């Protein structure tokens, strides 16, 4: 059955701002307003970029509840619920559903490194037990396991699995998957650098890191693709390509939080095990920021 995308365009995988003692919820609300003003279509809260693995259950739940409350009627809300403990993922999915989230994002289970059959059971177990639509998250560089095209095809038959955040970087395999699944599975780019080629092959947008600091630019890039103007989209991508690259010069979200602090957004420090960016890389990041019109303080 054809799936209707939860959102189209740009979804920001939002950072979590911290104080010395916890989450800076007041600053977080400011960031949500910045996203809305920039034309962002959806917010992914408690994702990788949000440093969710370091959050307590209380922080995860409060961030989820606050995001749904502040975004209601303005931006869609997707909640990261991925875990290598299937029951824990279900617990977080039920909380997101109870809050009124528009979708949940489930990453492939890391460390356990299950089989493709195990992936089908893991995702289906949660999708069977909630009504909030699920987005699968494929990022083998972080988890050690990727979702194969035949596995996507099997999962596409589940009525509650809406789509995929595809961050493998393998455009050929993505194209094969699209040919197999058709409209039974919605795709979004999981990498800013892959947005244009993936949307040219039918993706509906991007779940973006860069849009934390340049939301209007990423929203524009997606809209050009949605409008079918890939010549203009390519030109816009070329303008942003080096900045997209520098946002991954070290492990995400180290560069994007560094850039936001350099731009005066004051999102606080990273939580261990993430550490400050190396000075040499910071200089390259600053140069790239200036090239796309971002000022540093």
Question: Counting Cβ atoms within 10 Å, is residue 204 exposed (0-12), middle (13-18) or buried (19+)?
Answer: buried
Cα–Cα distance, 127 to 124 (Å, whole number): 5
Helix (H, G, I), strand (E, B) or coil at 242: helix
Alpha helices (H) along the chain: 25-37, 57-71, 86-99, 116-127, 140-143, 149-156, 171-181, 195-200, 215-226, 230-246, 254-262, 279-291
User: Who's near 183: CB < 8 A, 6+ residues apart?
Assistant: 2, 3
* Whether the Cβ atoms of residue 54 and residue 77 lie closer than 8 Å to each other: no
- Paired with 45 in beta bridges are 79
The residues that are catalytic are 137, 165
Cα angle for residues 169, 171, 172 (degrees, 5° grid): 130
What are phi and psi for residue 173, nearest 5 degrees? -70, -35
Task: State which H helix or E strand residue 273 sits in.
Answer: none
């Amino acid at each position: 059955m054809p799936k209707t995308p939860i959102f189209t365009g740009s979804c920001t995988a939002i950072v979590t701002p911290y104080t010395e003692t916890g989450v800076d919820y007041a600053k977080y609300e400011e960031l949500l307003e910045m996203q809305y003003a920039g034309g962002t279509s959806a917010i992914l809260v408690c994702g990788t970029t949000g440093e969710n693995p370091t959050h307590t259950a209380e922080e995860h739940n409060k961030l989820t509840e606050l995001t749904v409350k502040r975004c209601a009627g303005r931006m869609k809300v997707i909640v990261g619920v991925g875990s290598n403990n299937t029951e824990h993922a279900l617990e977080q999915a039920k909380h997101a559903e109870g809050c009124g989230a528009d979708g949940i994002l489930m990453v492939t289970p890391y460390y356990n490194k299950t089989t493709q059959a195990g992936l089908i059971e893991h995702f289906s177990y949660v999708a069977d037990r909630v009504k909030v639509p699920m987005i699968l998250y494929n990022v083998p560089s972080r988890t050690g396991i990727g979702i194969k095209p035949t596995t996507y095809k099997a999962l596409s038959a589940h009525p509650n699995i809406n789509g995929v955040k595809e961050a493998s970087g393998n455009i050929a395999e993505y194209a094969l998957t699209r040919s197999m699944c058709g409209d039974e599975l919605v795709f979004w780019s999981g990498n800013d650098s892959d947005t244009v080629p993936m949307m040219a092959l039918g993706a509906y947008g991007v779940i973006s890191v860069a849009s934390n600091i340049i939301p209007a630019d990423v929203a524009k890039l997606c809209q050009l693709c949605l409008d079918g103007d890939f010549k203009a989209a390519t030109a816009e991508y070329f303008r942003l390509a080096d900045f997209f690259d520098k946002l991954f010069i070290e492990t995400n979200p180290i560069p994007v939080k560094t850039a936001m602090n350099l731009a005066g957004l004051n999102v606080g420090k990273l939580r261990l095990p993430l550490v400050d960016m190396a000075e040499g890389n910071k200089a390259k990041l600053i140069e790239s920021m200036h090239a796309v019109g971002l000022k540093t303080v």
